[in-house]
Every structure is written in structure tokens, then in C-alpha cells.
Structure 1
Amino acid sequence: MNLQITVKMILVMFLLCSGLSDFTFGSNRLRVFRFPDNENEPDWDGALSECNKANESFVTLYDEEDANFVANFSDGKQRLWLGLRKGRNITWSDGVPVTFNATYEIEKAGTQICVAIDNNTWTSLNCSERKPFMCNKDGNYTLYEDEKNWCKALQYCRHFSADLVSISNESQNDEVIKKGNNTSFWIGLMHDEWEWADKSCSLYRNWDTESALLDPIEKCTISTALGLLKNQECPNSQAFSFCSKGKTRIRVIDHHLTWERAFDYCKANHTGMLQIENENDQKAVEQWLNNTDVTGPFWIGLRQSRVFGFWIWRDRTVTYSKWKNGTEPKLPMSNHCGAINQTEWSDEHCWRRLPFLCEEKIIFMN
């Protein structure tokens, strides 16, 4: 057995034993989108049923990038059912029943607000505000001073198998306040009369003008041709079904950076630089890039060992590939960092400045 194969086997065994490699065989890791194969326009429940039959759910929008993708992908369809429906009210992120409530004011009924502790008292704030936050892991409270919005704070806690802190009684409240050390920080309580069908954490609420002024009793939501959210009656309205599956978002970052700086940016702001682990991942990336307004090529989290020559992701070796011309770049002629255009991979000089792709795990409310 030659040295290169031996080293590669050792690396694979290390990754498996370290627990870093979360292999997925055949399932959809990255989000992929689909219109059911019919031209019907059912009501909200009928459309959701069409998605569920394929083990999918309605599409959730997380930001303007998602809304722009939907507008490009919709192919002229004017009205698409989304997963946002009026129904939930108040919840702790870890699913603990709300049995203790300190006094605080909610500015406007129907708005999405999150709760922070500020000056040792509870206060309601816009969930998009960036604040420090407190995580709870097995009764151990940790205050993080990095400022994040509420969903990003929850995502950070979950990354360490923790959750935003929940409070069940007065003594626990006193302990959390003490641990907060007079800092203003997020706790795990959210008020929201709307929830997404897949139970994910999204702060996106770009209502059209009419819907923003309404206080509906029972409403569902469509996406308009302009990417705005619009209230609709659930049983008495029709729109196209729009389905998705996958638990990791693709993020297109239109900053031109070297590979290493792009890698650091993804790690600091998202889950990491994008990996394409199988054919399903590749199809999801192609679908997204075909509907983005940013021009590639894009850095992905692919690099080559300059000693042994094999290509690796951040936590595994490459087992699926789609290299340009079907040929894997080899030492000594290859560049050492990987990029993708709309469909194919290429080796590029690592100091070249390119836009890049990150991935971000979706966080779900318990």
C-alpha cells in the first residue's frame, strides 16, 4: 500500500472517530425546492398535504436572499402558499411550558417580539436586535457577550448542545439575573402569533402594506410576485403549492475574499463554508445558483493537501465530485482551493478573490 493511500485512510479513520463527520446517504441535507407536478391551486391545508406526501413542508423564508430566490424560481407564478400561519402565541425555545412570567409590556399585538433581561428586569424587544445572550446546558448558565439576533443566539446555543435559558420560577429568575452580571441579554422566550409550518426559527416578516395594517383572526400567508408576505384566508383562498426539504441553508456571500478569509467568514457568521457531500447536495447548489443574481465562480469549502494531493472538506475527504471536464486536478500542476461555477467544480489559486458559499443549519423551535 503506497504512502498516499495509507495517509488518506488514517485521515478518514480520524474523522470518523472524532465524531465530526455527519455522513448523509441519499437524504437531502441542503434545502431543495419543488412545485408539485400539477397546476392546481388548492387551499392552504390542501397545499400542505401535497408537500407532506413527499416528506416535504411548505417553504420558510429567512431573509431577503430567500425572497429573491423565490421570486426568481417561481417562473411567473403570482401566488405561492408559504408556511407562515397564525396560531402560536408564547413559547420557550426549549419547549418548557410557560408557567412563570415576570411583568413586562408588549408594544403591539400581532408583532413578533423576544424577551431580554435588561437592568435586572424582563423587557420585550424586536427579535432582530443584536444582544448578548445566555445559554443553559444541564443547569449550567453561560453568558455570551457576542451580540446576535434572537434566532442566531439560539443557533449558537444549539451548536453546543444547549439552549437559550428558560425560567420556570422566581428562584431561577434570580439566579439568571445574577449570572447576567448587569448585562442586557436574550433569554429563550418569544411572543409570536404566527409560526412556520416546519417550526423553524425565522424573523422574516416583510408584509405588504395592506397586511401590515391588519390584525387577522385566522390567516395564512402567500408570497406575492414582489416577494412580499400577504395575509389570506386559509380555507377560502387558493394559491400554488410550494414545497421544500433539507435542514441546511445555502448562503451566497457577495464579498470578494481569498479562500482562507472566506473560510473564516463562514465559520464566524454561519455554520461553515459550503460542502457538497453527495449528488443531492450538488443538485441543491445548482438549483440555488441558477436563481441567484450573483455571478460566480464561488469558493466552496474544498481544498487540496499540498503534501499528499487528495482533496478534502473541513471534516472529511471527498467521495463525490463534479470536476470540470470530469478530471480531478492533480499535483504538481493544480491550484489548491476549490470553487464552483453554476454546475462544475474547478481548482483556483487560493489568493484569488471570489464571492463564496456558506452553509447554515436551520434551527427549529421545540
Structure 2
Amino acid sequence: MSLSLSVLMMTSVLLVLSLGLFDFTVGSHLRRVSFFLSKDDDKMNWMDSLNKCKSNESSLVTVYHQEDLGALLKNVPGEEGVQFWSGLRKNQSSVTTWSDGNSLAFNNSQVTSIGDDQICEAMTNITWKAFNCSDRKPFMCYKDNNYILIDKEKDWCQALQYCRRHYTDLVSISNETQNNDVSEKGKNKTFWIGLQHDQWTWVDGSCSTYRNWPKNNNNNPECATFDLNNLHKVQCAIDGGIFCTKGNMRIKVIKNKSTWEGALDYCEENHNGLLWIEDEEDQKAVEQWLNHTEVEGPFWIGLRQSTLFGFWIWKDRTVGYSKWKNGKIPAMPMSNHCGVIDKTSALGQWSDEDCWREHHFLCEEEIAFMNKK
């Protein structure tokens, strides 16, 4: 692994040099949260809140899991009775869709009614079965005319993201023959297919399986707020606090420890890769999570020094923005060759570290969107 990784890094660096891409940028990519609640005027109805987010080139927040709620509310000034808007709103149109946008020409579903729960379809043999989308199962992707069973357990949205990253999409089924072919490829397992039933949509179009409604919240409003524990269905006209988010990569704090190369392998296998930081906006997004997580640092990030040229790179791109400790870039021959980000003594500062030491680490995971962007 060490030799092949070094060769890969050298090849990447040479490519960067030959193409003159030292100023290569793609814009801020890490998901960052901002909130507005400093005065009464900052509380708005759902639509005005959405428009305020749009004016900042962002959207009302999508909640992905319970940890997300803790991170969102950790540093918000306490104010009794304040409700915070989520980007979740009830659909006015069709609620049953294939993830790749194909029409529902063939339907073997046994779902007859859809409440406020999010329902996704899985296949066992040739039978379609409905499950909560947050359940974890194997899944089937497709590319061209090939069906690929992935024997890893993921929730439906994670399965969707995986299929789009490595293949084309979760499998959709348009006729009886295709249904039988997919079943045969399924090897008698129960696996996700690309059909979802959901009356609610996140306004930014992202896919999230989080639907933690309280048991007594059975009324029919069309918007949703949240607190530390739950989502709540409310009238869209009430006033609420505003959380806005932008960025297409979620930050994942990994609680087990590994060497830098072990962290790289883990992140590429289970997410999109070790986290990299494009600019100051990304840096602030990371600091938000470091300030929230109880996991102690330092954390490996995707930062490594070229042992051939001496400059620091993010896998296949050179470092533009940086936040090195004491403002000094670690230089050979005294430097270690891998990079960490600190949480304790110097929040968010980078430093060099021996690649063979074991640390917690940060991965990044691409957000899946129901409609491809």
C-alpha cells in the first residue's frame, strides 16, 4: 500500500504540475450551517425563511440523523419556546418515484396508502416489500444493462449515493421480465431497489431518511420544525428560527483510530474519502463539527506531503487555502509527511504528524439528491 500510494501521489503531482493547476478550485464543498436568531425580526414563516436562505446562496436545513440535531443546536442561544424551521415540506404531487426518474410503468408494490413515514421498497425473490427507508439492507445498482448486487448494508439514501458514485443508480424495474432478471441477480437476499414512497420532501432535494416524528404529532400541517429530539408538523405561517446550509459533502467523525493510510482506505471504502479543505468556508464547516463532537483529536485529514517535491497536497490537488499552526508550512527534512487538524489547544489548526501514528479521522460523504444534479 505504501509504495503504490507513493507512486499514485507522484503521478498525481506530476499531472498537476504539467497541467499548471496550482490554482485549481471547485468552490466550497463541505456542508456548513448558519443560523439567524439574534432578534425577533429574524423569526419568519417557512417561505420567508427559505427566501432568506436563498439570498445567502443556501437552503433551509436538511436533518440527516439525531447527531445532526445536536450539532445544529449546540451553539444556538437558548430561548424558550423557539421553533426552528427544517427544509421539510409536504408534497403536493406524486409521492411514489423511482430514484432514476423512470416512470412507474410497472408496479409490484403492496403499498396501498402512504402516511407521514418514508417507505422504501426492497425485493425478496420476486416479491416487493415495504420497509422504513432508515433500515439497513444490501442493495442493487445498475449500469447500462447490468445489475449489480452490493452485499453491504446501508440505509436507502446511502445506497442511492453509493450506486450513483460507482455505477448509475439504484435499480428501477419497468416490466415483468426485468423484475425476474433483478430477482435472479438478488441471490435470495432482501435488497433495496430504487422505489420510494414519501409525502414529504426536503426543499434542497437531498435524500435523508430522518423522520423522527413524535407519536402524538398526527395533525396535517404541511411544514416541519425541529428541536433537540424530534421533528414537528406545524402550520407554515408561524414564525420560527432559521438554519441555512450549503455544500454537498457531509463531514463524518470516525471514532476508531487508524494510521493515515488506514484512514484513507476506510474513508474511500465507506464514504467518499478523507476530508479535504478547499477554502475558508470549508475550514469553518470543519470547526463547527470539531466544536460539537465529543471525540478527542487530533484528526487525520486528507493532507499529505510529497516526499519528492516537498509541497503539501490533497490526494490529487495542491493545497491552496491553509491554516498551519503558527502560520508555518512544515518543510523537509524536518517535517512529518501527513496532516492532522487539532481540536483542543488550537481549534482547527493544521500540523504535520508521523503517518504511522494512530488517530481519529474525518471522512467526507457526498449528499445524495433525489433528482440528480
Superimposed CA distance per residue, residues 36-69 of structure 1 (whole angstroms, 9 cap, x where no aligned partner): 4764221111111111122211111111221111
1:171-204 Cα deviation digits (max 9, x unpaired): 3223322333433221100111211111111111
1:222 matched to 2:228: no
Partner of 2:335: 334
Correspondence for 2:87: 83
Counterpart position of 1:233: 235
Q: Which residue of 1 aligns with 2:25?
A: 24
> Displacement, 1:309?
2.4
Change (3 A) 1:9 1:147: closer
What is the aligned counterpart of 2:52 among 36, 50, 53? 50
Deviations 1:298-317 (A, max 9, x none): 11111123344222222222
Letter in 2 for 1:311: W
Partner residue, 1:344: 349
Letter of the structure 1 residue corresponding to residue 221 of structure 2: E
- Distance in 1 between residues matched to 2:269 and 2:16, nearest whole Å: 22
- Determine helix, strand or coil for the equivalent of 1:96: coil
CA contact (8 A) 1:256 1:355 kept: yes
Unaligned runs of 5+ in 2: 1-8
TM-score (norm 1): 0.88
Cα gap change, 1:22 to 1:107, in 2 (>3 Å): farther
CA contact (8 A) 1:106 1:124 kept: no
Displacement after TM superposition at 1:138 (Å): 2.6
Would you say the 8 A contact 2:126–2:179 is kept in 1?
no
1:191 has 2:191 as partner:
no
Number of paired residues? 352
Sort the Cα spacing of 1:71 and 1:101 in 2 relative to 1 into closer, same or farther, 3 A: same
Q: Which residue of 1 aligns with 2:141?
A: 135
On the 8 A contact 1:67/1:227 being kept in 2, the answer is: yes
User: Alpha carbons of 1:74 and 1:106: their partners in 2 closer, same or farther (altered >3 Å)?
Assistant: farther
Structure 1 runs not aligned, ≥5 long: 1-7
Q: Which deviates more from structure 2 when the two are superposed, residues 282-291 or residues 239-248?
A: 282-291
Matched, 1:244 2:242: no
> Percent of aligned positions with the same letter in both sequences?
52
- In structure 2, what is the equivalent of residue 124 of structure 1? 130
Deviates more, 1:279-288 or 1:105-114: 105-114
Hey, what's the Cα distance between the residues in 2 that align with 1:140 and 1:15? 35
* CA deviation profile, 1:217-256 (whole Å, cap 9, x unmatched): 33211111x2421111112x21012111111111122223
Asked whether the 8 Å contact 1:71–1:227 carries over to 2, the reply is no
2:208 aligns with 202
**Equivalent residues in 2 for 1:147-162 (5 A)?**
147-162=153-168
SS of equivalent to 1:109: coil
Checking the alignment, whether the CA contact within 8 Å between 2:60 and 2:85 is kept in structure 1 is: yes
Deviation at 1:16? 8.9
Greater Cα offset, 153-162 or 171-180: 171-180
Aligned CA-pair RMSD: 2.6
- Map of 1:295-306 to 2, 5 A cutoff? 295-306=296-307
Q: 1:238-277 maps to which residues of 2 (within 5 A)? A: 238-277=239-278
Match of 1:289 in 2: 290
| Aligned equivalent of 2:3 | none
DSSP 3-state at the match of 2:286: helix
Q: Tell me the residue number matched to 1:104.
A: 110
Deviation of 1:11 (Å): 3.8
Q: Which of 269-278 and 127-136 deviates more? A: 127-136
Task: Classify the secondary structure of the residue corresponding to 2:236.
Answer: coil
